[in-house]
C-alpha cells in the first residue's frame, strides 16, 4: 500500500489524472463502490468547449462569467476555457464515441444548453458521461501501473503535523497518504503516497432530492476540511431544474439539452385555467434557455404558487426519429415508466445537482496542504462562481486533471514509510445501527426544507441547531464504535452540511444560486465566501 500517487475517486477527474501519470508513476485509484458508480457516469448533456470557428474563447468566457453572477475567477475561467480544445482532442484520441456530424468542422455534433450563446456542447447522444467513463475506465484497467481499489472507502488523510511528536505551526502541513476501509473485509489499510488527489465529486446527497448517485456524500471536501484546508462558496448548490418526477424513478436527470433542442416548460393540468401554458417567458426573456438557477427558481415559484407537485417539460413537437436519435436513454427510460416523450410532456421537478464550492485550489489542483490536490466537483477553482454554466463541469475535470498530473510529474519525492496503523483498540461493534439511518434521513430532510432553493435566516438558524445536535451524536458514535461506510458517509455529510449553512449565513445578499428572502438585493461588490479551519487561523 505504498504508491507515488493515491487518487480518491474514479470519475472523469480521477481517471484523467491517473492516465496522465501512469506511464511514469505507480498510481492507486480508490473507489468506494465499483469504478462506474460516480456522478461522471450519470452526466447526460456533454462537455462545453470552443470547437467551431463561429465560436470563440471570449464568448465562452463571457457566458461563464454571466452565469457565475460576478463571482467567477476570470483567470481560472480563461485557463480552463483556453485549454478546452486540447482536452477534447485527448478524449477523442482515447476513443470516446462522440455523436458524429459529417457537416461540422470537427466532425462531431454540437448542441446548445441554457446560458450558452453558441452551440459548443460535444456529446455522445444523451449519455456522454457513461461514454467517457467507460472509455477511460477500460484504459485504466488495462494499465499495469494503475492499481484499482474498488469498494474501499476513504476515512481520513494522514497529515504530517498530526503524527506523534509533530510540532504544529512550524511549517506547511504535508499530506502523507490516507486511511481506507476495505468494505468487503472490514479492515482498515494505511495507504502511503507522495501525492494524494481528492476527486470524490460533490455533496448532493446532503439533500433529500438530488440527481446525484448515492456516492455523492462530500467525502473529499470533508476530509480536506478536517485536514486543515480552506473551502469556498459552499452556499452555492446548483439545483437542476428538471429531474424526472415519478414514484418509481430515483434521481433520473432530464438533460438540459432537451431545452436546448426546443423543449418547453409548461403548467400541468393541475394548474387549472392556465394548464398547458409556458411560464418561463414570465420570469426571464431567455425563457427555457435561461441559466439553471433562474429556471429552477421559476419552477419552484410556480409549484409553490399553484400548489403543484411538478411541471411539464414538453418536446413532443420534435419528430420521433429526432428524439430517439438524440435522447435514446431518456426516451427509453421514460417509455419504461409509461411516458412517451414523442407524444406527451415529461413531469419534472428541481433537485440538488452540483456543488459549486469546494476545496480551494490553484490552476494545478494544489490545496493548502503540501502533497494534496483536489480536482473536479470536490475542488473550488473559481470557474463556477455563484452558478455553474451547463457542461462546464466535465471540462473542468479534464483540464484541471491534466494540469494536476503535469504538476505532480514536475515534483520529486517518495511515499513515507512507517506511517501509523489505524487504531481500533478502544472501540466495539455498534449495537444499534438504526441511529445512523435515522440521522441520515433527518439531515437530508431538514437540509431540503431549510437550506433549499430559497432560504431565510430563521431557516438557516434551525438547520444550524439541528446540525450541532447531530454532530454530537455522530462524533460520539464515531469514537466508540467500529467504522462502517454508512457512518463515514454520514460523518462527511454532516461536515458538508455545516459548511453549506455557515457559508449561507455569512452571505447577506441574493446572488446566483443563493436566494435569501431576508437579503433579496445583490451587493455591488461580489466576494467569494472563504472558510478557514480553526487550526489555520
Give me the count of residues in the chain.
Answer: 537
Domain 2-48+127-236+356-409 has CATH 3.50.50.60: yes
- Residue intervals of the chain classified under CATH 3.50.50.60 are 2-48+127-236+356-409
Rounded CA-CA distance 488/180 in Å is: 11
Of the residues 26, 292, 466, 511, only one is catalytic, namely 292
Dump the DSSP string for 218-272: -HHHHHHHHTT--EE-TT-EEEEEEEE--TT--S-B--THHHHTT-EEE--GGGG
Written as tens digits, the pLDDT of the chain (537 aa) is: 999 999 999 999 999 999 999 999 999 999 999 988 888 887 778 999 999 999 999 999 999 999 999 999 999 999 999 999 999 999 999 999 999 999 999 999 999 988 899 999 999 988 899 999 999 999 999 999 999 999 999 999 999 988 887 776 657 899 999 999 999 999 999 999 999 999 999 999 999 889 898 899 999 999 999 999 999 999 999 998 999 999 888 778 898 889 999 999 999 999 999 999 999 999 999 999 998 888 988 998 898 889 898 999 999 999 999 999 999 999 999 999 999 999 999 999 999 999 999 999 999 999 999 999 999 999 999 999 999 998 999 999 999 999 999 999 999 888 998 999 998 877 887 766 778 888 999 999 899 889 999 999 999 999 999 999 999 999 988 888 889 999 999 999 999 999 999 999 999 999 999 999 999 999 999 999 999 998 643
Query: How would you classify residue 110: left for phi > 0, otherwise alpha for psi between -120 and 50, otherwise beta?
Result: beta
pTM over 0.85: yes
- Residue intervals of the chain classified under CATH 3.90.700.10 are 241-353
CATH fold for domain 241-353: Flavocytochrome C3; Chain A, domain 1 (3.90.700)
Tell me the per-residue pLDDT of 365-377, one tens digit each, with 9 for 90 and over.
999 999 999 999 9
DSSP code at position 418: -
Cell of 353: 445537482
CB 211 within 8 A of CB 37: no
Give the pLDDT of residue 537. 35
Residues 6+ apart with CB under 8 A from 330: 44, 126, 254, 255, 258, 341
Q: Kindly list the distances between the CA atom of residue 64 and the CA atoms of 201, 236, 357, in Å, as whole numbers in the listed order.
A: 21, 15, 15
Catalytic (active site) residue 292: yes
Amino acid at each position: 500500500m505504498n504508491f507515488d500517487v493515491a487518487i480518491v475517486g474514479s470519475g472523469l477527474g480521477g481517471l484523467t489524472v491517473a492516465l496522465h501519470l501512469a506511464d511514469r508513476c505507480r498510481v492507486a485509484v480508490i473507489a468506494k463502490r465499483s469504478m462506474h458508480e460516480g456522478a461522471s457516469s450519470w452526466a447526460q448533456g456533454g462537455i462545453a468547449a470552443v470547437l467551431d470557428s463561429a465560436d470563440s474563447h471570449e464568448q465562452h468566457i463571457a457566458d461563464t462569467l454571466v452565469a457565475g453572477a460576478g463571482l467567477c475567477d476570470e483567470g481560472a475561467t480563461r485557463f480552463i476555457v483556453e485549454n478546452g480544445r486540447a482536452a477534447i482532442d485527448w478524449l477523442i484520441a482515447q476513443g470516446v464515441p462522440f455523436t458524429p456530424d459529417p457537416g461540422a468542422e470537427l466532425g462531431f455534433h454540437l448542441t446548445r444548453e441554457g446560458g450558452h450563446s453558441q452551440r459548443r456542447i460535444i456529446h455522445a447522444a444523451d449519455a456522454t458521461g457513461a461514454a467517457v467513463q467507460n472509455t477511460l475506465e477500460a484504459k485504466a484497467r488495462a494499465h499495469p501501473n494503475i492499481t484499482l481499489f474498488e469498494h474501499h472507502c476513504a476515512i481520513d488523510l494522514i497529515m504530517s503535523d498530526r503524527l506523534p511528536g509533530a510540532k504544529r505551526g512550524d511549517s506547511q502541513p504535508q499530506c502523507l497518504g490516507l486511511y481506507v476501509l476495505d468494505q468487503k473485509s472490514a479492515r482498515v489499510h494505511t495507504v502511503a503516497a507522495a501525492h494524494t488527489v481528492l476527486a470524490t465529486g460533490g455533496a448532493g446527497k446532503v439533500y433529500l432530492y438530488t440527481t446525484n448517485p448515492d456516492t455523492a456524500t462530500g467525502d473529499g471536501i470533508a476530509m480536506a476540511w478536517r485536514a486543515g484546508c480552506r473551502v469556498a462558496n459552499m452556499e452555492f448548490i446548483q439545483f437542476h431544474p428538471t429531474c424526472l418526477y415519478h414514484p418509481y424513478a430515483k434521481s433520473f436527470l432530464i438533460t438540459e439539452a432537451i431545452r436546448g433542442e426546443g423543449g418547453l416548460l409548461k403548467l400541468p393540468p393541475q394548474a387549472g385555467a392556465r394548464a398547458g401554458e409556458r411560464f418561463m417567458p414570465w420570469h426571464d426573456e431567455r425563457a427555457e434557455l435561461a441559466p439553471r438557477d433562474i429556471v429552477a427558481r421559476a419552477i419552484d415559484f410556480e409549484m409553490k404558487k399553484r400548489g403543484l407537485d411538478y411541471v411539464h417539460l414538453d418536446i413532443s413537437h420534435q419528430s420521433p426519429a429526432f428524439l430517439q436519435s438524440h435522447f435514446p436513454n431518456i426516451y427509453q427510460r421514460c417509455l419504461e415508466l409509461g411516458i412517451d416523450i414523442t407524444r406527451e410532456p415529461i413531469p419534472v421537478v428541481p433537485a440538488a445537482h452540483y456543488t459549486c464550492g469546494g476545496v480551494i485550489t490553484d490552476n494545478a489542483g494544489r490545496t493548502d496542504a503540501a502533497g494534496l490536490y483536489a480536482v473536479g466537483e470536490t475542488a473550488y477553482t473559481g470557474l463556477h462562481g455563484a452558478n455553474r454554466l451547463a457542461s462546464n463541469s466535465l471540462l473542468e475535470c479534464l483540464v484541471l486533471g491534466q494540469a494536476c498530473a503535469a504538476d505532480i510529474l514536475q515534483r520529486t519525492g517518495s511515499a513515507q514509510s512507517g506511517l501509523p496503523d489505524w487504531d481500533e483498540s478502544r472501540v466495539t461493534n455498534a449495537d444499534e445501527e438504526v441511529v445512523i439511518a435515522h440521522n441520515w434521513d433527518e439531515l437530508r430532510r431538514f437540509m431540503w426544507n431549510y437550506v433549499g432553493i430559497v432560504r431565510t435566516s430563521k431557516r438557516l438558524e434551525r438547520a444550524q441547531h439541528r446540525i450541532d445536535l447531530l454532530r454530537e451524536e455522530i462524533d460520539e458514535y464515531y469514537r466508540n464504535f467500529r467504522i462502517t461506510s454508512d457512518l463515514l458517509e454520514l460523518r462527511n455529510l454532516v461536515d458538508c452540511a455545516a459548511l453549506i449553512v455557515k457559508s449561507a449565513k455569512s452571505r447577506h445578499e441574493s446572488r446566483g444560486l443563493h436566494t435569501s428572502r431576508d437579503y433579496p438585493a445583490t451587493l455591488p461588490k461580489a466576494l467569494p465566501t472563504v472558510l478557514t479551519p480553526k487550526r489555520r487561523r
